[in-house]
Chains A and B, each alone.
Chain A
Amino acid sequence: MKIKEILSKYPKESEYLIEILLEIQSSSKNHYISSEDVEQISKYLDIPESQICSVTSFYTLLSMNPKGRYVIQVCHDVPCFVNDTTSIYEKLVDMLAIEDGETTEDNLFTLEITECLGCCNEAPAMRVNDQVYTSLTPKKVEKIVKDLRGEEK
């Protein structure tokens, strides 16, 4: 959806800023808010660009940098950690040749370490965009990544 269409759904009041940012980010193929987006929002809500950047830089959920098509978030909290999330993370590093916070050269994957995903009873867990995967093993991870790569072809 184009930014102007998204903006037109909201009243011109700064209290809608976070909702606007979330919708723009989720409609972006690369899960981010561009500087052009910020400029448009600034004009629409009549608030300075610095104020918008201040908000995006406060929430880790919001990104001003383009990410891969698939953002893989691996939980590193205690229940996942004791269930060997390390091997899950290492498998991903091995397959994707990137580390925490990085994006593959083909812009397909971004790897992130994250806090609890709320699936402690089925640890270790990870999330790819909106889909959560649980009771992971390195083998399962391999299949998930291969399937995602296959989807793109």
Chain B
Amino acid sequence: MVNLKINNIDIQAKENTTILEAARQNHIDIPTLCNYPDLSIKSECRVCVVEINGQKKLHTSCSTVVKDGMVVKTNSPKVLNSRKTIIELILANHDANCTACPKNYNCELQSLANKLGIDKNRFPTVLDIQPIDNENPVLIRNINRCIKCGRCIDMCKNVQSMGVLDVMGRSKDMKITPAYGKFLTDEFCTYCGQCSSVCPVGAIIENDDTDRVWEALNNPSLHVIVQVAPAVRVSLGEELGMEPGSIVTEKVVAALKYLGFDGVFDTDFTADLTIIEEGNELIERITNGGTLPMMTSCCPGWINFAEQKYPEILDNISSCKSPQQMFGALAKSYYPKKMKLKPDDIFVVSIMPCTAKKYEAQRDEMKIDNVHSDVDVVLTTRELGKMIRQMGINFENIEEVPFDKPFGITTGAAAIFGATGGVMEAALRTVYEVVNKEELTDINFTAVRGTEGIKEAEVEIGGQKIKVAVAHTLENAKTLSEQVKNGTSPYTFIEIMTCPGGCIGGGGQPYGTTKAVRDKRIEAIYQVDENMPIRKSHKNPDIIALYDEYLLKPLGKKSHHLLHTHYSSRKK
């Protein structure tokens, strides 16, 4: 242990802790800006500087390790003055038109300026307005708001192994951009949106589609329906001021009804459907010598990654559309038939924890009539939060309402799609019982749960032991993809999710998502599973009915047309 003094308080800290950590452990607040939990220490912004006795220079507390006998001041006049100057200098080179920024009231720079009592700037603006990157339908990069903290670079390069963004130029000309100063496109960005979730300001944000939804809701000739992804029920509460991990499934339904949707449905239903189709595809590949290992296809960021970087393994990816797109396809085929509506009058909205889903919905392969997108608009959890605030709904106290029919019954297996390992577990629950023709004694496959980067398990299916693996983040996806590409993969079935923790940590989830927050959401999602009366997809009576009256059989002709797709190489 190391003994030191911070602000005249005697403190004991473990060796190798930083001054910042030691201070926070003792409830002494040191403001930070470039620092983000779970990402590397950067010391870019200098906001966390402190004074150390006997040293002339100020030191960044995020990167300075405690030493025995150290006497630290975190709020001396010199420190406060420096911090203020640093923020003023950043503001002088920042588009600080706060009310015209989507991060207004959610901006770390804004709250820091407020905290430090900055109400005017001694420095005139030196901002040289640059064009906004809004070439793609998913992410908007406004470099005029960028404060060069480097969190996006760290996330993109080190967590996601993509390295789309980096520092270009130096000194006052330094900028964070893709290579050659290009704009973001589907050539090299997977649209996972993790950059937007860690950006402290409004420099990278999702393309806001809420206006298109308001317009549809106010159009009396449209029948506007909405689907809600599994991960949203454990995060929307947080977006609206509740504790991380609050389960708000039926509050979401109530709020969506209040907004005026004609039908509120659960993507969990088509997650169950995915399990039936994907499970049968796996069984078929195993019995008929198809391409193995089979890899999951629910995650659009992963599909973009595979199409850009690993076209060699596209045959390994399940041909099943994602639950979002299966819902879209049914919403424009089965649903209008059942409800006696015209497909053209149906407007489908998705609420997703994800930014890449916006791209997926616009793909040409996702139009069953080859003209109109099956899913018309995708909103992130954050965008739905915005609409609920706009409408003045008291979310926490809203009376709960169940999902609508005909997709009313869902299972616990579908709910866990939201966490890393969930699709695998849901698939195993079904594949095991269908092939082995016996009930599972324990349906909890705990080996594939948790936040370890790559998880493995072994299951006996049809008399043979198969190995399965689960990966989240693209860095880990890369490891497993390399094995598949080189023919050294020991697995039969692989689940891949792009975002840390799976969809509960998606790029469209509430700001401030850290490992601690993700853990709470994961806990909540398994709680949702535990609470469900049915926890296996193949036992869902609504799914059985859908096959009986419409789809006829898994992997059949109708399924093939509506629920399956193909992928193509986008490698340069």
Does B455 reach chain A (CB closer than 8 Å)? no
CA of A48 to CA of B429, assembled, Å:
40
- Count of chain B residues near A, Cβ 8 A: 15
Instruction: Report whether B179 and A53 are in contact in the complex, using a CB–CB cutoff of 8 Å.
Output: yes
Among residues of B, the one whose C-beta sits closest to the C-beta of A64 is: B180
Instruction: Report whether A53 and B572 are in contact in the complex, using a CB–CB cutoff of 8 Å.
Output: no
Q: Which residues of B contact A54 (CB under 8 A)?
A: 166-168
Instruction: Report whether B169 and A50 are in contact in the complex, using a CB–CB cutoff of 8 Å.
Output: no
Q: Which residues of A contact B157 (CB under 8 A)?
A: 48, 50-51
A-facing mask of B153-172, CB < 8 A → 1, else 0? 00001000011111111100
Q: Which residues of A contact B166 (CB under 8 A)?
A: 48, 50-51, 53-54
Does B178 reach chain A (CB closer than 8 Å)? yes
Q: Which residues of B contact A49 (CB under 8 A)?
A: 163, 179-180
Does A100 reach chain B (CB closer than 8 Å)? no
Interface residues of B in 177-207 (CB under 8 A from A): 177-180
Instruction: Report whether A48 and B162 are in contact in the complex, using a CB–CB cutoff of 8 Å.
Output: yes
Q: Which residues of A contact B165 (CB under 8 A)?
A: 50
Does A119 reach chain B (CB closer than 8 Å)? no
Interface residues of A in 25-58 (CB under 8 A from B): 35, 38-39, 47-54, 57-58
Instruction: Report whether A53 and B168 are in contact in the complex, using a CB–CB cutoff of 8 Å.
Output: yes
A38 in contact with B179 given A51-B157, A57-B170 (CB within 8 Å): yes
Instruction: Report whether A35 and B180 are in contact in the complex, using a CB–CB cutoff of 8 Å.
Output: yes
Q: Which residues of B contact A38 (CB under 8 A)?
A: 179
CA of A18 to CA of B503, assembled, Å:
39
Instruction: Report whether A39 and B572 are in contact in the complex, using a CB–CB cutoff of 8 Å.
Output: yes
Q: Which residues of A contact B178 (CB under 8 A)?
A: 50
Q: Which residues of B contact A47 (CB under 8 A)?
A: 163
CA of A57 to CA of B178, assembled, Å:
12
Among residues of A, the one whose C-beta sits closest to the C-beta of B157 is: A48
CA of A87 to CA of B168, assembled, Å:
35
Within the complex, the shortest CB–CB distance from B179 to chain A, in Å, comes to 4
Instruction: Report whether A52 and B169 are in contact in the complex, using a CB–CB cutoff of 8 Å.
Output: no
Contact of A48 (CB < 8 Å), options: B164, B168, B177, B572:
B164
CA of A48 to CA of B167, assembled, Å:
12
Within the complex, the shortest CB–CB distance from A22 to chain B, in Å, comes to 18
Q: Which residues of B contact A50 (CB under 8 A)?
A: 157, 163-166, 177-179
Within the complex, the shortest CB–CB distance from B113 to chain A, in Å, comes to 29
Within the complex, the shortest CB–CB distance from B154 to chain A, in Å, comes to 13
CA of A49 to CA of B157, assembled, Å:
11
A-facing mask of B334-375, CB < 8 A → 1, else 0? 000000000000000000000000000000000000000000
Within the complex, the shortest CB–CB distance from A54 to chain B, in Å, comes to 4
Q: Which residues of B contact A64 (CB under 8 A)?
A: 180
Among residues of B, the one whose C-beta sits closest to the C-beta of A49 is: B179
Contact of A58 (CB < 8 Å), options: B163, B164, B169:
B169
Instruction: Report whether A52 and B179 are in contact in the complex, using a CB–CB cutoff of 8 Å.
Output: yes
Within the complex, the shortest CB–CB distance from B122 to chain A, in Å, comes to 30
Within the complex, the shortest CB–CB distance from B216 to chain A, in Å, comes to 38
Q: Which residues of A contact B168 (CB under 8 A)?
A: 53-54, 57
Contact of B163 (CB < 8 Å), options: A35, A39, A48, A57:
A48
Within the complex, the shortest CB–CB distance from A61 to chain B, in Å, comes to 13
A57 in contact with B164 given A48-B179, A50-B178 (CB within 8 Å): no
Q: Which residues of A contact B162 (CB under 8 A)?
A: 48
Q: Which residues of A contact B177 (CB under 8 A)?
A: 50
Among residues of A, the one whose C-beta sits closest to the C-beta of B170 is: A58
B-facing mask of A3-41, CB < 8 A → 1, else 0? 000000000000000000000000000000001001100
CA of A64 to CA of B181, assembled, Å:
12
Interface residues of A in 105-134 (CB under 8 A from B): none
Instruction: Report whether A53 and B170 are in contact in the complex, using a CB–CB cutoff of 8 Å.
Output: no
Within the complex, the shortest CB–CB distance from B483 to chain A, in Å, comes to 16
Q: Which residues of A contact B163 (CB under 8 A)?
A: 47-51
Q: Which residues of B contact A39 (CB under 8 A)?
A: 572
Among residues of A, the one whose C-beta sits closest to the C-beta of B161 is: A48
Among residues of B, the one whose C-beta sits closest to the C-beta of A53 is: B179
Q: Which residues of A contact B179 (CB under 8 A)?
A: 38, 48-50, 52-53
Most chain-A Cβ atoms within 10 A of its Cβ — which of B157, B177, B179? B179
Q: Which residues of A contact B180 (CB under 8 A)?
A: 35, 49, 53, 64
CA of A51 to CA of B150, assembled, Å:
13
Within the complex, the shortest CB–CB distance from B160 to chain A, in Å, comes to 11
Q: Which residues of B contact A48 (CB under 8 A)?
A: 157, 162-164, 166, 179
CA of A64 to CA of B170, assembled, Å:
15
B-facing mask of A63-92, CB < 8 A → 1, else 0? 010000000000000000000000000000
CA of A53 to CA of B572, assembled, Å:
18
CA of A73 to CA of B166, assembled, Å:
30
Q: Which residues of B contact A51 (CB under 8 A)?
A: 157, 163, 166
Most chain-B Cβ atoms within 10 A of its Cβ — which of A35, A50, A58? A50
Q: Which residues of B contact A52 (CB under 8 A)?
A: 179
Q: Which residues of B contact A53 (CB under 8 A)?
A: 166, 168, 179-180
- A50-B179, A57-B168 given. 11 additional CB < 8 A pairs? A39-B572, A47-B163, A48-B162, A48-B166, A48-B179, A49-B180, A50-B164, A50-B177, A51-B163, A51-B166, A64-B180
Q: Which residues of B contact A (CB under 8 A)?
A: 157, 162-170, 177-180, 572
Q: Enumerate 18 A-B pairs (CB-CB under 8 Å) in ascending A order.
A: A35-B180, A39-B572, A48-B157, A48-B162, A48-B164, A49-B163, A49-B179, A50-B163, A50-B164, A50-B166, A51-B157, A52-B179, A53-B166, A53-B168, A54-B166, A57-B168, A58-B169, A64-B180
Q: Which residues of A contact B (CB under 8 A)?
A: 35, 38-39, 47-54, 57-58, 64
| Pairs A-B, 6 closest by C-beta atoms | A48-B163, A50-B166, A49-B179, A54-B166, A50-B179, A53-B179
